[in-house]
Structure 1
Amino acid sequence: MAAIAGNVRIDGRRLWDLLMEMARIGATPKGGVRRLTLSAEDRQGRDRFRALCEAEGLAVTVDAIGNMFARREGRDPTRRPVMFGSHLDSQPSGGKFDGALGVLAGLEVIRTLNERGIETEAPLILCNWTDEEGSRFGHSLMGSGVWVGGIPLEKAYALADTEGVTVGEALEAIGYKGDLPARPFPADAYFELHIEQGPILEAEEKTIGIVTGAQAMAWYDLALTGWESHAGTTPPARRRDALVGAARVIALVDRLMREQGEDGRGTVGFLRVEPNSRNVVPGRVAFSAEFRHPSDAVIDALDRRFEEETRAIAAGMRLDLAFTRVFRYPAQPFDPACVALVREAAARLGYPAREIVSGAGHDACAVARVIPTAMIFVPCKDGLSHNEAEEILPEHAAAGAQVLFEAVLARANRVP
């Protein structure tokens, strides 16, 4: 007969030690990590993850986009598995916990089950998704996006980094272009533990965020092309300054964001200036832009206004504009039954908790399109993330992992 969670507790110290061990792979001098997706450091993290999973008796498979799935069998192999996990890739100057917490807390769930001899009714699958961050190849949620059918595999393979290396080439280079088809397989549910990456839980002294869904987002790639000319001899009327044009578009992004009040989000995070010489009027600037908001209608309106006003800026400055919509994700509600399991676990364990909408995109947002999904948040210091100074408390990591443990077991052992 399958055991239930009861008073079984994960080992918080063991989880913390594992987080610190993974943080040594791609460690930066300022205490963060640099494990860009499909890099040598990412390969080392993947290799370590695979070895740890296999040591726990899990069968590890890899699909064609590099997503990793570590399976623990259940009493009933015909039952659809319960999935959980996150990602191990990082930002160029990222923190130790973004993504890694969800993957390694999932491994701690498996270890606890194994050492207590607990057999679940349904199988379990621990996931490490490829390129959640989108910082190297420019497309966030790439692995999970391909898996759910939102991104064609060949399109993903053709994405290139700033050095011209494609996703397909990078997968081959690190040995993680797997044989498993990159498409959904039958699964019962998906749970993801993550740091909040914002200030709300810490400010309200809440240990657990019960994530009810994620806000809509739209990403863009833009390039403005003008005319390179001498900085000392070109008068204002003759200038076609691509960088000034980009600056005006950046100010537009900020203005449109602030018009939405506290729910508005708008960012330009990438900028490349050519020829990038101090005495040349810039002739070309390539840059990113994005908007996020809980409302699909607001994102639709921002999308229209942003393109219209950007084109007006370019035309007024005699600049050529390349305007590309990289992707658009609608607001994604999570499954009420799965969210309820997170809520019930937090209450049963006595953790201060609140419901929250995710301001960031996560693999769970993609997976939720095809599988019932829920997320668990824990606080991070000062709400800081995508930064080497990203920090969480060990007790919060343990609390999040415990809620994950309870929710996964409750789902895996439920009466179908």
Structure 2
Amino acid sequence: MLVTRALRSISSRTSSTTRLALTYSRRYSSASSSPPQIRINAARLQSTVEELANLSVAKPLNHSYMPNPPSRSPGSTDPRSYPLPTGTSLLPPTTSLRHYLTTTLGVTPLIDDLGSLFLPLASSPRPSAPSIALGGPLDSSPLPLLAALEVVRTLQDYAVETTHPITLIGWSCSSGSRFPRALLGSGVWAGHVGVDEAWGIREVGSDHAGRRTVKACLRESGWLGSLDASVQLGAYFEALPTKWIDEIEIGTGAKAWRWIEVSVKGGDALAAAGRCVLAGREVGNMLNGRVSTGVFEAANAGFAGTPREAKFSLYIMGKNVDEIQEEALRMFAKIAFEEGGVVEKVEVVMDEPELRFDEHCIAAIRESLEDVSGGGLLGDHETGLLGPGVSVGELGEGTVVENFVESPMDAVNTARRGVPTGVVMVPEDNGPEEWALGAQVLLGAVLEWDRVQGAAGNFTERGFLSM
């Protein structure tokens, strides 16, 4: 499982005895003239990772805040014990993350039509002002949401009073691993996908009749809601786990990408589809893009049979998506012919053009990252987060790297809807220290954006849209 694997990976690489000692030196409240040091609690973040990694949804859960609690198992005597099958979106371990978020902050969540969670927090004397939202997906790596949660907890630790309210958002059905469309929850929220269309999407699987719809799965899991309340977003910030970087970077925009489904029929369709997947990857490399396959299905032909039908997905990313797709399909037709079949169908599932994130959000992240990179020691000499006496200067003080995001993420949909959006790119495999730093940068960006926009009195600008 994506969530469990990510949690156990990060949990295994550190102890829980460190505490991040970074300072955000700017004004954190319009009413404060001498703010204290506002530090992310790295030990608590690590503890949260470990706690969530070990959380079992088989334990009794409190469903009192859920809009449609699932029915009890037959014969169950505990009203808090419910059947929760295994899987990805809307299923364990993602349901554990949902329960954790909704209970740990003591806030009654708003739950929309696709099961996305909105947790508005009382952090501002102006509750009617547009919210600064922090969020991430509920069904892939939990690190973005756990970093956002640590930012919220830190604001509460220091009783920070922001000009804008803070809202924590968990996006539902983002990964595309269970349902064949990525970023589904945020896509519906942003108006790019209709609710009825989203509800009708069926699970990935070879038995079409046995696949449940999104709506059926939402109802079964108890997370089918209806967001009637209005929550205005002034800005949205998200941390993104990124494989291809070695240090924290600023996401200045998102590269164009496309998701297509290819069906091969006749001959040895399984062999043809397998060769096509490998050929697609080579085409992506050759044309300076990236091509990968996340869904692969083949008809069951029995023990000694030859599958006559196969289908696979193709994720294409780069500045020349059209060229990559054209060359890949040319190769696929040749391969299918060699295996005695044909490429029967090519369907574009998602097609996202390149976009640029908001300049004010980028500036806020840049200010925060510069503060962190010039903030002195990353911990004391006894328990320094990166080792005794290691200073940021030794790691490249003053170097702020900005780059385009190369992975699908929900921030793309908030940006397309017109909400000012900022992204902090964090190395995925560098361990929890990097995520503590990422959370610190996220915290600083939120405070900087709140300070600048609050001072300017920007409460009704473009992008302050109701959900």
Classify 1:117/1:330 alpha carbon distance in 2 versus 1 (closer, same or farther; 3 Å). same
1:219-230 to 2 correspondences below 5 Å? 219-226=259-266
Q: Is the 8 A contact 1:15 1:105 kept in 2?
A: yes
Q: Is the 8 A contact 2:129 2:232 kept in 1?
A: no
Q: 1:405 to 1:328 in 2, by over 3 A?
A: same
Moved over 6 A (4+): none
Q: Secondary structure at the match of 1:76?
A: coil
Q: Which structure exhibits the higher relative contact order, with contacts defined as CA atoms closer than 8 Å and separated by 6 or more residues?
A: 1
Q: Which amino acid aligns with 1:113?
A: L
Match of 1:385 in 2: none
Answer whether contact 1:2 1:413 (CA < 8 A) is retained.
Answer: no
| Aligned residue in 2 for 1:402 | 440
Q: Aligned residue for 2:97?
A: 45
CA contact (8 A) 1:63 1:179 kept: yes
C-alpha distance after superposition, 1:300-356 (max 9, x if no partner): 222344445545655674436122111111122211110111111111122554212
Distance in 2, matches of 1:25 and 1:197, equals 26
Partner of 1:119: 161
Aligned residue among 209, 226, 232 for 2:249: 209
Does 1:257 find its partner at 2:304?
Answer: no
- Summarize the Cα distance change of 1:346–1:6 in structure 2 as closer, same or farther, 3 Å threshold: farther
Residue identity opposite 1:168 in structure 2: K
One-letter code aligned to 1:107: L
Report the TM-score when normalising by structure 2: 0.73
Q: Take 1:192 and 1:402, find their aligned partners in 2: how far apart are those partners?
A: 12
The share of aligned pairs that are identical, in percent, is 29
Per the alignment, in what secondary structure is the counterpart of residue 275 of structure 1?
Answer: coil
Structure 2 unaligned blocks of 5 or more: 1-29, 58-85, 374-391, 459-467
Assess, with a 3 A threshold, how the Cα gap between structure 1 residues 158 and 171 changes in structure 2: closer, same or farther.
same
Of 17, 31, 55, which aligns to 2:47? 17
Unaligned runs of 5+ in 1: 28-33, 91-97, 227-239, 382-391
Q: What does residue 463 of structure 2 align with? A: none
Alignment of 1:2-401 (within 5 A): 2-3=31-32, 7-25=37-55, 36-54=88-106, 58-73=107-122, 74-90=124-140, 98=141, 100-161=142-203, 162=205, 163-180=210-227, 186-198=232-244, 200-201=245-246, 206=247, 208-226=248-266, 240-261=267-288, 264-293=289-318, 295=319, 298-307=320-329, 309-311=331-333, 314=336, 317-319=340-342, 321-350=344-373, 352=396, 353-370=400-417, 371-381=419-429, 392-401=430-439
Structure 2 distance, partners of 1:112, 1:247, is 49
Number of residue equivalences: 364
Distance 1:80 1:213 in 2: 23
Instruction: Tell me by how many angstroms 1:178 deviates.
Output: 1.0
Q: Deviations over 1:344-398 (max 9, x none)?
A: 11111225542122221111122111211111122233xxxxxxxxxx4232121
For residues 44 and 363 of structure 1, what CA distance do their matches in structure 2 show? 20
How well do the aligned residues superpose, as a CA RMSD in angstroms? 2.4
SS in 2 for 1:220: strand
CA distance in 2, matches of 1:6, 1:347: 19
Listed one character per residue, the Cα deviations across residues 41-95 of structure 1 (whole Å, up to 9, x for unaligned) are: 32232112100121xxx442111111101111311123211111102313xxxxx
Give SS of 1:117's match: coil
